[in-house]
Amino acid sequence: MNALLALWQRLCGDSALLRFVDINLRGAGQVMFQNHPFTGLLFIAAIAWGALAADAAAVLAGGLLGLVAATLTALWLRVDDEGLAAGLYGYNGLLVGLALPTFLAPTPMLWVYVLLGGAVSVVAMLGTVNVTRGWRVSALTFPFVLTTWLLLLAAYAFAGLGSETPPFGAELEPLDATVSNPLHLGAFINGVLHSISQVFLKGNTVSALLFLAGLALASPAAALFALAGAVLAVTSAHLLGAESELVSAGLLGFSPVLTAVALGTVFYRPGWRVAAYAALGTVFTVVAQAAMNVAFAPLGIPALTAPFVLCAWLFLLPQQHLHGNDDAKP
Amino acid sequence: MNALLALWQRLCGDSALLRFVDINLRGAGQVMFQNHPFTGLLFIAAIAWGALAADAAAVLAGGLLGLVAATLTALWLRVDDEGLAAGLYGYNGLLVGLALPTFLAPTPMLWVYVLLGGAVSVVAMLGTVNVTRGWRVSALTFPFVLTTWLLLLAAYAFAGLGSETPPFGAELEPLDATVSNPLHLGAFINGVLHSISQVFLKGNTVSALLFLAGLALASPAAALFALAGAVLAVTSAHLLGAESELVSAGLLGFSPVLTAVALGTVFYRPGWRVAAYAALGTVFTVVAQAAMNVAFAPLGIPALTAPFVLCAWLFLLPQQHLHGNDDAKP
Amino acid sequence: MNALLALWQRLCGDSALLRFVDINLRGAGQVMFQNHPFTGLLFIAAIAWGALAADAAAVLAGGLLGLVAATLTALWLRVDDEGLAAGLYGYNGLLVGLALPTFLAPTPMLWVYVLLGGAVSVVAMLGTVNVTRGWRVSALTFPFVLTTWLLLLAAYAFAGLGSETPPFGAELEPLDATVSNPLHLGAFINGVLHSISQVFLKGNTVSALLFLAGLALASPAAALFALAGAVLAVTSAHLLGAESELVSAGLLGFSPVLTAVALGTVFYRPGWRVAAYAALGTVFTVVAQAAMNVAFAPLGIPALTAPFVLCAWLFLLPQQHLHGNDDAKP
* pLDDT tens digits, C184-239: 888 999 999 999 999 999 999 999 999 999 999 999 999 999 999 999 999 999 99
Where in the sequence of chain C do the CATH 1.10.3430.10 domains occur?
A: 12-161, 185-325
Distances (CA, A) of C323 to A77, C273, C274, C320, C328: 10, 10, 10, 5, 5
Phi, psi of B328 (to 5 degrees): -100, 145
Which are the contacts of C157, defined by CB distance < 8 A and separation ≥ 6? B175, B177, B242, B243, B290, B291, B293, B294, C163
Instruction: Compare B180 and A194 and report the one with higher pLDDT.
Output: A194
Asked whether this complex has an ipTM greater than 0.90, the answer is yes
Alpha carbon distance B92, B125 (integer Å)? 8
CB A145 within 8 A of CB A96: no
DSSP designation for A167: S
Alpha carbon distance B244, B234 (integer Å)? 10
Where in the sequence of chain B do the CATH 1.10.3430.10 domains occur?
A: 14-161, 185-325
Alpha carbon distance A94, A84 (integer Å)? 14
Alpha carbon distance B295, A44 (integer Å)? 42
**Cβ separation of B239 and C119 shorter than 8 Å?**
no
- Indicate whether C170 pLDDT > 70: no
User: Given C175, C239, C315, which is nearest A123 (Cβ)?
Assistant: C315
Alpha carbon distance A22, A16 (integer Å)? 10
Sequence-distant contacts of C8-15: CB under 8 A, at least 24 apart: C8/C37, C8/C38
Q: What is the CATH architecture assignment of A17-161?
A: Orthogonal Bundle (1.10)
Q: How far is B124 from chain C (nearest CA, A)?
A: 20
**Cβ separation of A299 and C294 shorter than 8 Å?**
yes
User: Given A78, A79, A158, which is nearest C242 (Cβ)?
Assistant: A158
- Cα angle value B194/B196/B197 (rounded, 5°): 65
Chain-centre distance for alpha carbon B320: 26
All residues of chain C having their beta carbon less than 8 Å from the beta carbon of residue A111 are: none
Alpha carbon distance A43, A28 (integer Å)? 7
- Indicate whether A170 pLDDT > 50: no
Alpha carbon distance B97, B58 (integer Å)? 9
Q: What is the mean pLDDT of residues C256-278?
A: 91
**Cβ separation of B294 and C167 shorter than 8 Å?**
yes
| Total-model pTM | 0.93
Q: How far is B88 from chain C (nearest CA, A)?
A: 24
Q: What is the CATH architecture assignment of B14-161?
A: Orthogonal Bundle (1.10)
Q: How far is C4 from chain A (nearest CA, A)?
A: 42
All residues of chain A having their beta carbon less than 8 Å from the beta carbon of residue C135 are: 130-131, 134
For chain B, the residues whose C-beta falls within 8 A of a C-beta of chain C are 134-135, 172, 174-175, 177-180, 239-243, 280-281, 283-284, 287-295, 297-298, 313-318, 321-322, 324
**Helix crossing, A91-103 with A16-29: angle to 10°?**
70
Q: How far is C330 from chain A (nearest CA, A)?
A: 18
**Helix crossing, A108-132 with C272-296: angle to 10°?**
100
Residue B1 burial (CB count, 10 A): 7
Q: What is the pLDDT of residues B91-120, one digit of tens each?
A: 999 999 999 999 999 999 999 999 999 999
What is the per-residue pLDDT for A287? 97
pLDDT band at C176 (very low <50, low <70, confident <90, very high): low
Where in the sequence of chain A do the CATH 1.10.3430.10 domains occur?
A: 17-161, 185-325
**Cβ separation of A160 and C135 shorter than 8 Å?**
no
Alpha helices, DSSP H only, in C77-175?
81-85, 91-103, 108-132, 142-155
For the domain C12-161, what is the CATH code? 1.10.3430.10
**Cβ separation of C79 and B324 shorter than 8 Å?**
no
Alpha carbon distance C248, C181 (integer Å)? 11
pLDDT band at C99 (very low <50, low <70, confident <90, very high): very high
Paired residues of B328 in beta bridges? B268
**Residue of chain B nearest C109, judged by CA positions:** B240
Considering A73-77, A182-186, C317-321, the range whose residues carry the highest mean pLDDT is A73-77
Instruction: Please count the residues of chain B.
Output: 330
pLDDT band at A24 (very low <50, low <70, confident <90, very high): very high
Q: How far is C307 from chain B (nearest CA, A)?
A: 19
User: Given A292, A295, A315, which is nearest B123 (Cβ)?
Assistant: A315
Q: What is the CATH architecture assignment of C185-325?
A: Orthogonal Bundle (1.10)
In Å, the largest CA–CA distance within chain B is: 61
Distances (CA, A) of B222 to B39, B225, B264, B307, B314: 12, 5, 8, 19, 20
**Cβ separation of C116 and B177 shorter than 8 Å?**
no
What is the per-residue pLDDT for C298? 83
Please state, rounded to an integer, the average pLDDT across all residues of chain A. Answer: 90
Q: Flag residues of chain B having pLDDT under 70.
A: 163-181, 320-330
Residue type, C87: G
What dihedral do alpha carbons A282, A286, A291, A292 form, nearest 10°?
80
What is the per-residue pLDDT for B299? 86
Alpha carbon distance C262, A197 (integer Å)? 42
All residues of chain A having their beta carbon less than 8 Å from the beta carbon of residue C287 are: 116, 150-151, 154
Q: What is the mean pLDDT of residues A162-178?
A: 48
Distances (CA, A) of B217 to A242, B4, B224, B230, B318: 47, 13, 12, 19, 30
Instruction: Please count the residues of chain C.
Output: 330
**What percent of chain C has a predicted confidence (pLDDT) above 70?**
91
- Cα angle value C187/C190/C191 (rounded, 5°): 85
All residues of chain A having their beta carbon less than 8 Å from the beta carbon of residue B128 are: 317
Alpha carbon distance A139, A133 (integer Å)? 8
What is the per-residue pLDDT for C268? 82
**Nearest alpha carbon to residue C261 among C235, C289, C232:** C232
Alpha carbon distance C193, A247 (integer Å)? 52
Residue type, A71: T
What is the per-residue pLDDT for A299? 86
Q: What is the mean pLDDT of residues C41-65?
A: 97
Three-class SS state of A268: strand
Alpha carbon distance B68, B31 (integer Å)? 15
Write the DSSP string, A38-57.
Answer: HHHHHHHHHHHHHHHHTT-H
Paired residues of C29 in beta bridges? none
Chains A and B: how many Cβ contacts under 8 Å?
105
Lowest mean pLDDT among A44-48, A132-136, C67-71: A132-136
